[in-house]
Each structure stands twice: as structure tokens, then as C-alpha cells.
A and B are shown apart, each in its own frame.
Chain A
């Protein structure tokens, strides 16, 4: 890894920590939901808490990726500093790798507390091989939501991205059935959830973790969403380059 990439990573990380609103929200909200709304009710039901933990981890990844990448990209496009960076030698790659590495750090900040709470205070458990498999599945969730965040960053102004961040992920999570027990999920959510990317990501991680089968529809839709988000990111990036630098 080039030293310039490390420079961008260090600076971006320092900035994230010095203006910590986003960072703290991402690090505290998912684990807060877990501690107050999940652990007291199903903390000692091993199967239920294991699935709930996996779901919350995916929720944490969603929040972290969307918040970090949408704002980072929108700010880079809109700020005069981002414009100035274009005049420096070194190219755009170190900057993008820097965003990616810091994004992974934000993801870690979101999910590590959840895993700690689950491991220390609850009956959640899974064999190591399953955990490893689930980690691989989670990587796909990271890719999905990173692409969503990037697409938002390229297609939205910084204001719009900030607003979308504070309200946008909730409907995504609810529509994907993340906050419902399988037993009492409302009919309407049952109908739409398989078409929502959060459901596909959650299902993938759950299959990997528990081995219980899920319907293929949500997984197929996840692949479709990844393609759509990737397409939007590439299109938004090109449009942005043409608008600002053509």
C-alpha cells in the first residue's frame, strides 16, 4: 500500500474522529437498540438472540457504510478542498482507498460492540466455522451497502445525503423486516421484504450463521441490488467527472 494511501487514511480517520457525530451515531445506535430492546427480552433464548445479533450486525453495517461513504463522497464533490486535491499529483486512487479503509474502521466501530454484548451478556453462540462463514457473508453486505453509500454520494448533494442518512436507513431496515420477529411480521412487510436489499443481506448472513434455509427470492434480489448500486455508482461517478472536469 502506498504511503500516500496511508496519508489519506490517517487524515480521513483523524477528521472522522474530530467531528464525531456520524462516528458516534454509528457506534452507539445499533448496540443501543441491542441493549435496550433485544437483550432484555430474548437475551437468554440462544437461537433467537443469535439470529437477532446477526440481524443487528447487518443493520450496523448498513448504517456505517451509508453514513460514511455518502457523506465522504458528497463532501469531496462539493467542497473546494476536494477540488483542490485534484490539482495535486498522485491521482484519485489513494483518496478512494483511504475512504475505503476508514469505512472499514467505521464498520468495525458499529459491529464490534454488538458482538461484545452478544458474547458477554447473552446466550448467543455459534460454532467457529459458522461464524467464519457468516463473516464472509457479511463482507457481501459490506460491499452492497458501500455501493449504496457511494451511489448516494455521487447522486445527492451533501445536504440531501445528510438528511437521507438521518432518516433513510430506517425505512430500509423496517421494510426489510429487520425489526420484526419471524412469527409476528406484518403481512405487508412479508410481501415486500424479499425485494428490499436489507432482507437479502440479512438472509445471507443468517443462512451462513445458522444453516437454516431461506427462500431464494431475497438472495436473487440482493444480487440484482448489488448490480443496480454498482451501476448507479459508476454512472454517478462519470456524470460527476463530466460536470466538474470535462
Chain B
């Protein structure tokens, strides 16, 4: 399989902090990779290094076999501007035409606007659009140059459900045509819906990398909360956290845990079972949960 983008043992330091710590990542053609991680995990730095905006402190980055800082390799990637930064006085059509002028074989404008449900907004100035509309425009710009690989940094944060679905459809149709995507998101359901593969980062390192099914198995945790001063030893618990008299147990199998609690004769009361947050899942994976 052709590797479109490759980071090899990339470390990136800012002054005294290490944003990336020995990261290696291959993105093959046609694959949608979901990049998950808490704030400050290094996701944006990784994208900036892979798109050639930042130089790695050590290690190497290749884009289609070339230097990401050279002009020719940039023709095959698409990047999204932060939507807050669209020039206010430009119309949507002007933005699309402007970006298109940089590429040898850009997508037809009407087709692109249609794909991202922007046709009705074509003549509006960017500054007059809502935040969600601006974000859709910003994401659409990444696809103007018929890229083979698109970098999307939190494309749907702050979008309503309809707008998010519209964007997902746009990304899916790009994927169906053979395009590769590196996607970061705070929404695990977004990654589940779009990605073939999930990479989890924390503290500048990749701590999990696998198919959606594999990662889902690891992060599909339940949070079981109960009151029990004398908790017996339990198997199948990813982490235990206490606050005041309540105890929070993270587990992959809530049913088995409850069965275990009952058969062990534990004297628990007020049991609640809820889905664990994404942060819970990350912290469980890193094993970094504070105890006590």
C-alpha cells in the first residue's frame, strides 16, 4: 500500500516542553485515520509537523515521499484554516476560487459547494456567516485542490447535528473516491463514524493504534458508581477512584462487575451505571488515573 504521509520518530520541543516525543505514524492512501487525545496531547503539533508548518526537532517527516516543506508535495494535501480566520470581506465563492488558483486541477466550484451544502451561501461574505457555516466553508477549502490526503483538525466542534451530518457526508464521499484523511476530534462517535483506524495520543506519544473495533473495545468503558466503605478485591476493573463516600469504578464489562459484586457479598448501596467519558477512556488507557 502506498504511504502518503510518514512521521518517523518525530520529536518536537518548544523551549522546555516536549510536544511530540518519538512519534512514528504512517498514513496509507485511502485510509481515514482518527487521531484522538486530550487537549495538549500533541495532536495539533503533529499535524503542523506533518503539513510542513513546523520542523521536527529530531526525526523525519515525508509527504508522498518528499519534504513537506517543498511546494510540489503541498499539492497533494488539503488543510483546513481555522474558521475564525477566514478573511471577513471575502465572499464564499472568492475564497474557493482563491484557493483553487493554487492547484493545477481544482474541483469544480459548484460541485464543491454542493458537496458541502454551501450553494445557498455562495455569495455571502465570510464575516457574515455563523460560526458553523464558517467552519463548513473552512473544511470545504481543504478539498478544493483534489488532495490525496486531507488534514482535518476538529472539523465539527461546535456544529449542530445537521451541519455535522452534512460534513460527514462530504468526508465520506471523499473517502469513497480513494482519499485519505487524518482527522482529530473531541467526539469519539465522529471518529467511530468516519475512521478506519484510530490513533490515541497522550503526552506527545502514541499510546494506542488500531482499527476502530480494537480501540473501541478498549475505550468502551462504563463508569459504575456506588457507596461501599469495604470494597472487595475485584477483577475486570480498569481503575478505581474515590471521592467522599462514593467510589467510581471504570470497567469494560459492567454486567460482569455487578455480578461479581453481588456474588462477593459486598454491602454496596446506591449503584449507578453510566457510559464513561472519553477522557475516562483515555486515562484508563494511559493508566494515569490518580488513585486515593
Contact = CB atoms under 8 A, between A and B. Distances in A.
A and B held together in a complex: yes
B193 to A, nearest CB: 26
Nearest to A3: B101
Interface string B259-276: 000000000000000000
A115 B60 CA distance: 58
Interface stretch (B78-86, B173-181, B226-234, B246-254): B78-86
A14 B90 CA distance: 9
Contacts of B74: 87-89
A18 B88 CA distance: 10
Given A87-B53, A89-B71, A89-B102, A15 B84 contact: no
A81 B87 contact: yes
A80 interface: yes
B75 interface: yes
* Chain A interface size, under 10 / 10 to 19 / 20 to 34 / 35 or more: 20 to 34
B181 to A, nearest CB: 15
Nearest to A82: B85
Contacts of B75: 89
Contacts of A36: none
B19 to A, nearest CB: 14
Contacts of A88: 74, 99, 102
B54 A84 contact: no
A245 B48 CA distance: 9
Nearest to A78: B85
Contacts of B90: 11, 14-15
A11 B53 CA distance: 23
A90 B53 contact: no
A91 B54 CA distance: 15
Contacts of B145: 89
A91 B71 contact: yes
B85 A86 contact: no
A191 interface: no
B136 to A, nearest CB: 16
B85 A80 contact: yes
Given A15-B90, A18-B89, 8 more contacts: A11-B98, A80-B81, A84-B82, A87-B52, A89-B103, A90-B71, A90-B102, A91-B71
Interface of B: 51-55, 71-72, 74-75, 77, 79-82, 84-87, 89-90, 94, 98-99, 101-103, 145
13 contacts: A3-B101, A14-B90, A19-B89, A79-B85, A80-B82, A80-B84, A81-B87, A84-B80, A84-B85, A87-B51, A87-B74, A88-B99, A89-B145
